[in-house]
Amino acid sequence: MIYVSPLSGVEDAIRLHGPSHLVSLLDPDSMIPTPEGISAGKHLRLSVNDIASPVDTLTAPGEAHVAELISFIRTWDQTDPMLVHCWAGISRSTAAAFITLCVLNEDQSEDALAQLIRRNAAHAFPNRLMVRHADSLLRRKGRMIDAVEAMGPARATWEGVTFALPVRPEL
């Protein structure tokens, strides 16, 4: 399973679901140390702000960040869950979850994977810049971008709730 949470839900998600791998997507000033129960080598810490286009004083998710995420995903043996989080559990983490599903399910349509996220998280609004980089790196020819745009509007909220996605969904 892939679990997605806001920062406020990380400790509970680790306790309840026992992930072996953790992806933290937080701004550089808010990055957390590796939590107890997670091996340091299985904690990917991407220090990026939640922005969809470059801003001088902020760290935009870059192609190198997304390439690092894709490499990390490919090292996960999927025996135990992966937990992905950002500050609110709405944008960066849902983009990372979508990217994870696309990497692990090359035989599934990007639209079906994006709709799986929408069904499980009405609040999901995947970071478009991260998705654009992944689409390019994975050579999806715009299909990932189109799929995220086709998800429809997200339910407005200040913070998402923890939700689960099957690694190999039957769509």
User: Please, what are the domains in the chain?
Assistant: 2-165 (3.90.190.10)
Contacts of 166 (CB under 8 A, 6+ apart): 1, 2
Could you tell me which of 58, 146, 50 has the C-alpha nearest to residue 94? 50
pLDDT at 30 over 70: yes
- Whether 171 has a pLDDT exceeding 80, the answer reads no
What digits encode the pLDDT tens for the residues 108-156? 999 999 999 999 999 999 999 999 999 999 999 999 999 999 998 999 8
- How far is residue 113's CA from residue 120's CA, in Å, rounded to a whole number? 11
